[in-house]
Structure 1
Amino acid sequence: MATTLLKRRRGAGRPRGAVASLLAPSTLFMLALFVWPLIVGIGQAVHGPDGFTLDNLRTMTGDSQFWPSVRNTVLLITVVIPLQFAFAISMALMLRARPRFSQLWFYTWVIPLAISDLAAGLVWLSIFSDRGYLNSVLHDLGLPTYSWLSYQHPLTVFLCILVAEVWRATSLVLVIVVAGMQGIPRDYEEAAEVFGASYWQRLRHVLLPQLRPSLQVALILRTILAFQTFAVAQALTGDNFPLLVGETYHWYTSLQNADVAAAIALVVLAMSMVTAVVYLRALRDRTPGGSAR
Structure 2
Amino acid sequence: MSVKSSDPLVNRHGLLARMRRGSTPYLLLAPTMVLLLVFLLYPLLSIGYFSLQQYNVSQPWDNGFIGLDNFRAMLADDLFWSSLVVTAKWVVVQVGLQLVFGLVLALIVNEAFRGRGLARAVLFSPWAVSGVLTTTIWLLLYNPAVGVNRYLADLGLGEYGTSLLASGDTAFWAAVLAELWRGVPFFTILILADLQSAPGELYEAAQVDGAGRIRRFWSITLPHLRNSIILATLLRGVWEFNNVDLLYTLTGGGPANATTTLPLYVARVAIDSKEFGYGSALTIAAFVILGLVTVLYLKLTNFGREPNE
Query: What corresponds to 2:280 in structure 1?
Result: 262
Higher mean displacement: 131-140 or 115-124: 131-140
Contact 1:88 1:170 survives alignment (8 Å): yes
Q: Distance in 1 between matches of 2:217 and 2:14?
A: 51
Q: Distance in 2 between matches of 1:16 and 1:138?
A: 69
Partner secondary structure for residue 182 of structure 2: helix
1:174 aligns with 2:188: yes
CA drift of 1:82 comes to 0.8
Label 1:24 to 1:216 Cα distance change in 2 as closer, same or farther (>3 A).
farther
Larger RCO: 1 or 2 (CA < 8 Å, sep 6+): 2
Q: Output aligned runs, 1:6-85, within 5 Å.
A: 6=11, 11-48=17-54, 51=65, 53-85=67-99
Q: Distance in 2 between matches of 1:176 and 1:189?
A: 21
- Calculate the TM-score normalised by the size of structure 1: 0.88
Label 1:129 to 1:281 Cα distance change in 2 as closer, same or farther (>3 A).
same
- For 1:62, give the aligned amino acid: A
CA drift of 1:160 comes to 0.1
Partner secondary structure for residue 164 of structure 2: coil
Label 1:77 to 1:285 Cα distance change in 2 as closer, same or farther (>3 A).
closer
1:88 aligns with 2:102: yes
Query: What corresponds to 1:149 in structure 2?
Result: 165
Q: Distance in 2 between matches of 1:8 and 1:292?
A: 46
Contact 2:98 2:180 survives alignment (8 Å): yes
2:124 alignment partner, one of 107, 110, 113:
110
Contiguous gaps of at least 5 residues in structure 1: none
1:209 aligns with 2:215: no
1:122 alignment partner, one of 132, 136, 142:
136
Partner secondary structure for residue 110 of structure 1: helix
- For 1:18, give the aligned amino acid: T
Aligned pairs, number: 289
Q: Distance in 2 between matches of 1:274 and 1:147?
A: 38
Query: What corresponds to 1:228 in structure 2?
Result: 242
Per-residue CA deviation, residues 194-220 of structure 1 (Å, 9 max, x unaligned), is 223232222222122222222222111
CA drift of 1:74 comes to 0.8
Contact 2:187 2:232 survives alignment (8 Å): yes
Query: What corresponds to 2:58 in structure 1?
Result: none
Percent identity over paired residues: 25
1:284 aligns with 2:302: yes
Q: CA RMSD in A?
A: 2.5
For the pair shown, the structure with the greater C-alpha radius of gyration is 2
- Calculate the TM-score normalised by the size of structure 2: 0.84
- For 1:169, give the aligned amino acid: G
Query: What corresponds to 2:4 in structure 1?
Result: 2
